[in-house]
């Protein structure tokens, strides 16, 4: 029997509502609505407009109900680490954006109480200054935490607004730094050591668990049926994307490439060694208790911020044009460190690339196509390095790399990644996150094979991919 389900997929630069039609030999995705997302600067810093995103989601679900009768369930995924603080039903303020610079004081506070090595042994996470534990520690200097009785990560917040139930799904909870590596419950001892109130943490659930039925006022507002339920999916978008990466065997790696490039392996157990910590690799929870052993690379943020810079100056060519011109660049371009923290904040990117080049005594790009080619080469180099490190650290050879998400449409990036790796790159599907979201819902409803391999086999049967084999030597 075919089931129709709705996926609310929120990315750092855009969101979408999609309807999936899923059965034993069927998997179709129908785009219903798309909307922009981004940071909003308020008096106290950079925030997300999550209330606005919820309005977009409800509008998309309303449109979905008008197009497709009998939608059985809804699943929500989003980016990681960011959260809202609530007092009862009231959200105290819109969630801070992870690119806001307030977290430095939180890093200092946490590391004064727990050494980085001890922290890695506890949670297995790559050091990123915006991990939730650091953000919460930064809250201690203000009134926010004292007035809050609960904390909800972004997808859990939308699930709460749709059901009235406060829950935290484990794949996203594992990005907070507050879930023990390989563990299933919150690390209350760590909360105590850092001075955080453990009472704000909600009950944990797994991908595939039901959060609750859709609230009656939303049934009325959207036109969805009264039996529509909200199901927890891999609520960290990368967890859902990896479900839909059409990998086969133990020698495949993945790159979920959008605003960030999440580069790594799916493992049965974490790798929490000193070498893994020094390489800044993370162990995040995957669907069905798997481990996403990966490194966060800056991703297409570098390109999108560069294009925004040129648009603001009135000199931006179409992206397709500048990518084609970049592919034709023959002059050697600088390969900069895409993981350099200077590239994290919003704002013009080319001055920071020029600064990096000056500090490293290399000639900077001299034209827009060269800047784009430099970004592509730097991302491909960072991807190749992360794959090689993941393979070595996990003791697992890699023979095929799957690129999913928006980056799978960037032919130059896919080809140069294959060239730098010396391996075949399989690109697609582009909507992997929404597909994974839909598949977890469908499995909970009994519509598809219950294993990850079974779901990936359905992806392989129904979505076309493009293969890139190494052509040019690394320049």
Residue 473: the pLDDT is 58
**Cβ atoms 47, 81 nearer than 8 A:** no
How do residues 399-431 score in pLDDT, each as one tens digit? 999 999 999 999 999 999 999 999 999 999 999
**pLDDT tens for residues 10-59?**
999 999 999 999 998 899 999 999 999 999 999 999 999 999 999 999 99
Give tens-digit pLDDT for 167-200. 999 999 999 999 999 899 999 999 999 999 999 9
Q: Each residue of 156-176: pLDDT tens digit?
A: 999 999 999 999 999 999 999
Q: How large a percentage of the chain has pLDDT more than 90?
A: 95
Listed by start position, the domains of the chain span 3-237, 247-428
Q: For 78-128, what is each residue's pLDDT tens digit?
A: 999 999 999 999 999 999 999 998 888 999 999 999 999 999 999 999 999
Question: How much is the pLDDT for 474?
Answer: 52
The question of whether 237 is a catalytic residue gets the answer: yes
**Pairing label, strands 90-91, 83-87:** antiparallel
CA contacts within 13 A on the Cβ side of 136: 29
CA-based torsion, 171, 250, 264, 180: positive or negative: positive
Contacts made by residues 106-112, CB under 8 angstroms, sequence distance 24+: 106/133, 106/134, 106/135, 106/136, 106/137, 106/138, 106/139, 106/140, 107/134, 107/137, 109/137, 109/138, 109/140, 109/194, 109/195, 110/134, 110/137, 110/194
Could you please report the per-residue DSSP string of 275-318? Answer: HHHHTT-EEEE-GGG-EEEEEEE-TTHHHHHHHHHHHHTT-PPP
Please indicate whether the domains covering 3-237 and 247-428 agree at the CATH topology level.
Answer: yes
Catalytic residue among 9, 82, 237, 381: 237
- The pLDDT of residue 144 is 75
What is the pLDDT, as a whole number, of residue 24? 84
pLDDT per residue over 233-278, tens digit each? 999 999 999 999 999 999 999 999 999 999 999 999 999 999 999 9
> Coil, strand or helix: which one is 197?
coil
- 8 A C-beta contact, residue 428 and residue 408: yes
> Cα torsion at 100, 104, 107, 110 (round to 10°)?
-110
Q: Which two tokens stand for residue 349?
A: 């990117």
Tell me if 239 sits within 8 A of 87, measured CB to CB.
no
- Tell me the average pLDDT of the chain: 96
Pick the CATH number of 247-428 from 1.10.3720.10, 3.30.420.40, 3.40.50.300, 3.40.50.620: 3.30.420.40
Q: pTM for this one? A: 0.95
Domain 3-237 falls under CATH 3.30.420.40: yes
Q: Is the pLDDT of residue 475 over 50?
A: no
Condensed to tens digits (0 to 9), the pLDDT of residues 367-400 reads 999 999 999 999 999 999 999 999 999 999 999 9
8 A C-beta contact, residue 348 and residue 309: yes
429 prior amide bond cis, ω within 30: yes
């Amino acid at each position: 029997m075919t089931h129709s389900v709705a996926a609310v997929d929120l990315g750092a630069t855009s969101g979408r509502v999609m309807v999936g039609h899923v059965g034993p030999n069927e998997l179709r995705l129908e785009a219903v609505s798309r909307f922009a997302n981004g940071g909003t600067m308020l008096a106290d810093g950079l925030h997300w407009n999550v209330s606005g995103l919820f309005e977009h989601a409800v509008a998309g679900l309303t449109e979905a109900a008008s197009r497709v009768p009998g939608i059985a369930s809804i699943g929500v995924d989003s980016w990681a680490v960011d959260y809202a603080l609530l007092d009862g039903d009231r959200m105290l303020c819109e969630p801070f954006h992870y690119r806001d610079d307030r977290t430095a004081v939180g890093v200092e506070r946490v590391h004064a109480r727990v050494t980085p090595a001890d922290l890695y042994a506890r949670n297995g996470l790559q050091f990123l200054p915006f991990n939730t534990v650091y953000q919460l520690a930064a809250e201690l200097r203000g009134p926010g935490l004292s007035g809050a009785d609960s904390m909800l990560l972004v997808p859990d917040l939308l699930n709460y607004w749709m059901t009235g139930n406060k829950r935290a799904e484990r794949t996203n909870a594992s990005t907070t730094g507050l879930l023990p590596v390989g563990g299933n419950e919150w690390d209350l001892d760590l909360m105590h050591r850092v001075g955080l109130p453990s009472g704000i943490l909600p009950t944990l659930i797994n991908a595939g668990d039901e959060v609750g039925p859709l609230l009656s006022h939303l049934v009325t507002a959207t036109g969805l049926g009264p039996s529509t339920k909200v199901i927890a999916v891999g609520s960290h978008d990368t967890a859902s994307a990896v479900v839909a990466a059409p990998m086969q065997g133990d020698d495949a790696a993945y790159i979920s490439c959008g605003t960030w490039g999440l580069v790594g392996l799916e493992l049965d157990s974490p790798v929490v060694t000193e070498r893994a910590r020094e390489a800044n690799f993370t162990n995040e929870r995957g669907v069905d208790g798997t481990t996403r052993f990966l490194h966060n690379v800056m991703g297409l943020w570098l390109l999108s911020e560069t294009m925004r810079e040129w648009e603001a100056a009135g000199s931006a060519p179409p992206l397709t044009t500048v990518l084609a011109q970049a592919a034709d660049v023959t002059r050697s371009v600088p390969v900069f460190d895409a993981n350099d923290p200077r590239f994290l904040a919003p704002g013009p990117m080319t001055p920071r690339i020029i600064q990096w080049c000056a500090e490293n005594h290399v000639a900077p790009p001299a034209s827009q196509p060269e800047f784009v080619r430099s970004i592509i080469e730097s991302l491909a180099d960072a991807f190749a390095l992360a794959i090689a490190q993941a393979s070595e650290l996990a003791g697992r050879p890699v023979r095929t790399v799957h690129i999913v998400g928006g980056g799978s449409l960037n032919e130059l990036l896919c080809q140069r990644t294959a060239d730098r790796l010396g391996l075949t790159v399989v690109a697609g599907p582009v909507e992997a996150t929404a597909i994974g979201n839909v598949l977890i819902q469908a499995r909970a409803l009994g519509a598809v094979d219950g294993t990850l391999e079974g779901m990936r086999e359905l992806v392989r049967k129904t979505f076309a991919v493009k293969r890139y084999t190494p052509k040019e030597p690394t320049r």
